[in-house]
Amino acid sequence: MDTRNKPQSASTERLQMYIGGQWVDGTSGRLLDSLNPYTQQVWAQVPDASEGDVKTAITAARDAFDNGPWRQTTPQQRAALMRKLGDLIARDAERMARIESMDNGKLLREMLGQWKYLPEWMYHFAGLATQSQGEVLPSDRPNFIAFTRKEPIGVVAAITPWNSPCLLMMFKLAPALAAGCTFVVKPSEHTPVSTLRFAELVEEAGFPPGVFNVVTGGPDAGRWLVSSPDIDKISFTGSDGVGRAIARAGAENLTRVALELGGKSPQVVFEDCDIDAAVNGVISGIYAATGQTCMAGSRLVVHRSIHDRVVERLVERTRSIKLGDPLDLSSEMGPAATCQQFQKILSMVKSAEAEGAKLAYGGRQAPEGGYFVMPTILTHVHNKMNIARDEVFGPVLAVIPFDTEEEAVKIANDTRYGLAAGIWTQNVQRAHRVATQLRAGSVWINAYRVTAPFAPFGGFGHSGIGRENGHDGFNEYFETKTVWVELSGNLRDPFKLG
């Protein structure tokens, strides 16, 4: 974002990058401003990394992986360091939550909830690190035993978005460290501060230099990072447009690429649901983080017989949402994270109205001014409209009625995405039947937005490639090596081998 004309707050912080265990300025001397979206003041400045800085970080991670002590550590030693880091995160959770609120405008109470749970990622993957990896294979060759070894994939380049910088980094970092990889992360140019502060905790925990590196910068720094032939895996979370560019960059060097992208997730509300619970779930699904989450439940697919009743209840509850300072614990919704995002949200609502959607509530800048958008409900939407197909990444709910279960599933699945879905019904058979048919990486029944380190997370279709968290996410950080051992010691005929 261009913040050249934005006022700086009196106490603007100046941060350095963390490369090879050192705190360094950027070699270009250029700085990036980090803007607090609530005060609209520049509150921190970070280096805008040059191509040389990015290379230095990759070299540090490469060297730490190829030659450093990290590769030689036992899983138990890595797990001990990770548990220590988990404890430090727990100790500083409140301070870190505050930093992220100031950087992206998300509610402090939401960020506190997130940060209190973040140590679990370190603890969970520390546990997995010490469980046996690989297996003895059921060989049909009497003269051989064969087994697999799980070996760390190498240097991981992580690129994260602005909406939950450290949580989304943790999805990548915890399994990568547990596997024995080294790591270079580039946070979003809009929210670089928490990742740099996080590096202080990594340093305090005692990780060897080069295992964890942070470079700050915008798309150029991202491009330099992902196009390097010296990285082994790219793990990206962000928009599908950038995801495509990153997949292309990865293809050039045949680097492994994992993508966590956007969504247009349905909340399917059946006529036999508990309406109070469903309304709460829909509200939290779309307005949490001001709708700026990949898993936002942005399409409400609701049975026609309860459509009006549900919309009425939603409008009633939405009207009472308290917008305000993200650091005030009584606020229920904060501003959009950037000016660009604020403008995009309002322009998508306008286009939806031009397509025939009707505003049941909101649709304008909120009286609080700044980047505050009113929480918005659009009715008279059908699934072919752009507002039902494109990700808004804002507090905008599109309501689409259905008549039969079959039609509900069809509407829910009629999307290029497939990240998440909610089902609201008290009929247990229907809940399972529909969950089986939905094409989405996470399905919640009578709930929404629950994630955990042990549960795989990721998307079908354009919502991404690969999974994070759980065993599936852990496996993404290994190469599998098969080792064959000949047992007779008597291989004399070269044409009889194997």
By CB under 6 A, how many residues form the interface with ligand NAD? 29
Specify the amino acid at residue 283: I
Which span sits near ligand NAD by CB under 6 A: 120-128, 257-265, 320-328, 488-496?
A: 257-265
Q: How far is the CB of 419 from ligand NAD (least distance, A)?
A: 6
Q: How far is the CB of 236 from ligand NAD (least distance, A)?
A: 7
Q: CB nearest ligand NAD: which residue?
A: 222
474 binds ligand NAD (CB under 6 A): no
19 binds ligand NAD (CB under 6 A): no
Among residues 401, 446, 445, 393, the alpha carbon closest in space to that of 417 is found at 393
Which span sits near ligand NAD by CB under 6 A: 53-61, 91-99, 155-163, 369-377?
A: 155-163
Question: Which residue among 294, 366, 397, 411 contacts ligand NAD (CB under 6 A)?
Answer: 294
Which span sits near ligand NAD by CB under 6 A: 52-60, 73-81, 145-153, 258-266?
A: 258-266
Question: Which residue among 78, 124, 197, 223 contacts ligand NAD (CB under 6 A)?
Answer: 223
- Of 251 and 487, CB closest to ligand NAD: 251
Question: Which residue among 97, 158, 242, 388 contacts ligand NAD (CB under 6 A)?
Answer: 242
Q: Are 235 and 270 in contact, with CB atoms under 8 Å apart?
A: no
Q: How far is the CB of 227 from ligand NAD (least distance, A)?
A: 8
245 binds ligand NAD (CB under 6 A): yes
391 binds ligand NAD (CB under 6 A): yes
Which span sits near ligand NAD by CB under 6 A: 147-155, 234-242, 308-316, 370-378?
A: 234-242
246 binds ligand NAD (CB under 6 A): yes
291 binds ligand NAD (CB under 6 A): no
Given the residues 166, 181, 273, 294, select the one marked as catalytic.
294
Residues 469-484, buried b or exposed e (16+ Cβ, 10 A)?
Answer: bbeebbbbbbeeeeee
The residues near 239 (Cβ < 8 Å, ≥ 6 apart) are 161, 261, 262, 391
Contacting ligand NAD within 159-188 (CB under 6 A):
159-163, 168, 186, 188
476 binds ligand NAD (CB under 6 A): no
Cα dist from 80 to 3, 21, 83, 112, 205, whole Å: 42, 19, 5, 25, 10
- Of 255 and 379, CB closest to ligand NAD: 255
Q: How far is the CB of 394 from ligand NAD (least distance, A)?
A: 11
Q: Are 42 and 8 in contact, with CB atoms under 8 Å apart?
A: yes
Which span sits near ligand NAD by CB under 6 A: 23-31, 177-185, 214-222, 483-491?
A: 214-222
Q: How far is the CB of 294 from ligand NAD (least distance, A)?
A: 3
- Of 75 and 461, CB closest to ligand NAD: 461
Question: Which residue among 118, 226, 288, 423 contacts ligand NAD (CB under 6 A)?
Answer: 226
Is position 273 annotated as part of the catalytic site? no
- Of 237 and 290, CB closest to ligand NAD: 237
Which span sits near ligand NAD by CB under 6 A: 27-35, 260-268, 382-390, 479-487?
A: 260-268
Q: Are 224 and 40 in contact, with CB atoms under 8 Å apart?
A: no
- Of 160 and 415, CB closest to ligand NAD: 160
* Bridge partner residues of 155 (DSSP): 182
Given the residues 260, 391, 468, 476, select the one marked as catalytic.
260
Q: Which two tokens stand for residue 308?
A: 């009006």
| Whole-angstrom distance, CA of residue 294 vs CA of residue 301 | 18
Q: How far is the CB of 176 from ligand NAD (least distance, A)?
A: 16
| Whole-angstrom distance, CA of residue 145 vs CA of residue 132 | 18
Give the torsion sign (CA, 210, 58, 177, 15): positive
Q: What is the rounded end-to-end Cα distance, in angstroms, of the chain?
A: 61
Is position 339 annotated as part of the catalytic site? no
Q: Which two tokens stand for residue 398?
A: 């599109």
- Of 289 and 411, CB closest to ligand NAD: 289
Q: How far is the CB of 71 from ligand NAD (least distance, A)?
A: 27
Catalytic annotation, residues = 260, 294
Binding site for ligand NAD (CB under 6 A): 159-163, 168, 186, 188-189, 218-219, 222-223, 226, 237-239, 242, 245-246, 260-263, 294, 391, 393, 419, 464
